[in-house]
């Protein structure tokens, strides 16, 4: 009989990262229980959450009741807008001592062995904590395998940031095609700590015992195959897609399920695959000029639409978008009357439930990795409208490498004055809603492969099993 051990999961304080890590923790426990052919797990999991005091994060953390302890304190003041990546990294670093104390108090004092620390990639500095405690560390990478390869590539540049260019491209071996500089994440050009933060991630990942990636081999076969045979890279476990299909982790922050119910009722009245869904993630919002272009583009397309329209936060505050009290004031005159019965404008939308609905035929998306996985899972093709973080390179991969999306823009960035025009949007929406398109057929095929990957005998199921074996080897 195996001695019971403990895993300690440390997510970064971001809902987008927290959700996939918690889903993975639950799946890991479920698979272990199934393999044990009984009701008891051979290990347990403690989740230590660095909680920011916002209503958005509070709601999600409450949904994780019983998952573990909370390192509960306000973030230190930093110059956020110069480099969000540096801000998050320094915020995590400031918690190293209290995280170590929490592990000693909540785990080691209970006389159980620690099989390992599973760290969100923003928490790479806590590899030091694992070393001090004498336990192995694993990175949980919340984006895809191709972008993991890109991060691992950064230390080869010798500390040199990229220079913005419309013509240059980089050969990143986890991408099938050369990657234009114009679609590289903004952090690549950031001289205020953004580039150096990710360069350090790429260096430190190689010190771990394994890298767990929220992807599946059939989606990113080129990238996964390269990483598996790359010298100096720890074992890579492709365990995705990590999507919360059953819980309420994606419930609207602060409650407010009524609007979600109204959205689903409206979709129930629409024909199958007839509605394009526009939603730009938890931080996605636009100014009035761009909103006017979106409305005109939807009108020109003639397609039924569900548009999640959010109010931008103040420019000097890193807050989530809010809700409009009167959208008529920012839309073209008469737009709502002309689109009555054909379109619905909402604020927050339950993205997962919307994408699962049979009425949805296309998804205009910011190309965050969680949204990409959800679109693939539900077989809904994407129109690419990246905004920030690694979304530009995700959009490039989806269009050029994988053929799973329709290109609207690949290099759009938040704050740009280069607006997406109505005609551009109408064209892209028309393409994605074509029921006979190759993109639609391809997405349906990959959707089925995503489901198979998680089943017994599937690639992600097998990768998770190998990880469990490695964890127990560490305990032994």
Domain ranges of the chain: 5-246+456-475, 257-449
Residue 50 has pLDDT above 50, yes or no: yes
Residue pair 166/182 in contact (Cβ under 8 Å)? The answer is: yes
More confident residue, 15 or 467: 467
Stretch 153-173: mean pLDDT: 95
- Predicted confidence at residue 473, as pLDDT, reads 76
Question: Long-range pairs for 453-462 at CB < 8 Å and ≥24 separation?
Answer: 453/216, 453/217, 453/218, 453/240, 453/241, 454/27, 454/216, 454/241, 458/216, 459/216, 459/217, 459/218, 459/238, 460/216, 460/217, 460/238, 460/239, 460/240, 460/241, 461/31
Q: What would the pLDDT profile of 99-126 be if each residue is shown by its tens digit?
A: 999 999 988 888 888 999 999 999 999 9
**Tokens linked to 377:** 């899972």
Residue 249 has pLDDT above 60, yes or no: no
Q: How does residue 359 score in pLDDT terms, banded at 50, 70 and 90?
A: very high
Spatial CA neighbour of 89 closest among 97, 98, 80 = 80
Top-level CATH class of 5-246+456-475? alpha beta
CA distances from 445 to 264, 356, 362, 379, 452 (A): 26, 16, 16, 8, 11
What is the CATH number assigned to the segment(s) 257-449?
3.40.50.2000
Lowest mean pLDDT among 14-28, 316-330, 418-432: 316-330
Calculate the average pLDDT of the chain: 90
- Predicted confidence at residue 254, as pLDDT, reads 44
* Within this chain, domains 5-246+456-475 and 257-449 share the same CATH topology: yes
């Amino acid at each position: 009989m195996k001695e019971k051990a403990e895993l300690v999961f440390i997510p970064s304080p971001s809902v987008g990262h927290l959700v996939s890590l918690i889903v993975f923790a639950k799946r890991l426990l479920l698979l272990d229980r199934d393999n044990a052919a009984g009701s008891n797990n051979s290990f347990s999991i403690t989740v230590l959450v660095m909680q920011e005091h916002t209503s958005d994060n509070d709601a999600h953390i409450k949904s994780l009741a019983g998952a573990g302890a909370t390192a509960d304190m306000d973030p230190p003041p930093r110059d956020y807008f110069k480099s969000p990546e540096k801000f998050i990294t320094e915020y995590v670093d400031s918690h190293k001592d209290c995280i170590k104390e929490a592990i000693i108090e909540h785990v080691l004092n209970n006389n159980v062995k620690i099989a390992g620390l599973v760290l969100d990639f923003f928490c790479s500095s806590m590899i030091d904590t694992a070393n001090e405690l004498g336990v192995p560390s694993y990175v949980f990478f919340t984006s895809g395998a191709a972008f993991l390869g890109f991060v691992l590539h950064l230390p080869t540049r010798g500390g040199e940031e990229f220079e913005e260019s419309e013509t240059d491209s980089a050969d990143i071996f986890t991408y099938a095609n050369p990657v234009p500089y114009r679609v590289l994440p903004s952090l690549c050009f950031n001289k205020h700590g953004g580039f150096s933060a990710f360069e350090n991630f790429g260096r430190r990942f190689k010190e771990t015992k394994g890298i767990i990636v929220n992807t599946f081999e059939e989606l990113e076969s080129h990238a996964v195959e390269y990483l598996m045979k790359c010298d100096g890279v720890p074992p890579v476990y492709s365990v995705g897609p990590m999507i919360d299909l059953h819980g309420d982790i994606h419930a609207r922050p602060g409650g407010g399920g009524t609007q979600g119910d109204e959205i689903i009722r409206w979709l129930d009245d629409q024909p199958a695959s007839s509605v394009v869904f526009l939603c730009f993630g938890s931080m996605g919002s636009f100014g009035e000029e761009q909103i006017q272009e979106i409305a005109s583009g939807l009108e020109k397309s003639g397609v039924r639409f569900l548009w999640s329209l959010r109010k931008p936060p103040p420019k000097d505050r890193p807050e989530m978008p809010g809700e409009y009290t009167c959208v008529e004031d920012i839309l073209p005159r008469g737009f709502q009357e002309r689109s009555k019965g054909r379109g619905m404008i909402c604020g927050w939308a339950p993205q997962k439930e919307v994408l699962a609905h049979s009425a949805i035929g296309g998804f205009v998306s910011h190309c965050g990795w969680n949204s990409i996985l959800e679109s693939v899972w539900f077989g809904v093709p994407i129109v690419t409208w990246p905004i920030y973080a690694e979304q530009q390179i995700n959009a490039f991969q989806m269009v050029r490498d994988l053929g799973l999306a329709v290109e609207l823009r690949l290099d759009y960035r938040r704050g740009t004055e280069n607006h997406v025009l109505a005609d551009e949007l109408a064209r892209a929406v028309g393409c994605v809603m074509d029921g006979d398109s190759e993109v639609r057929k391809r997405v349906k095929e990959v959707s089925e492969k995503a489901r198979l990957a998680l089943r017994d005998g599937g690639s992600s199921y097998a990768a998770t099993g190998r990880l469990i074996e490695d964890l127990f080897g560490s305990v032994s």
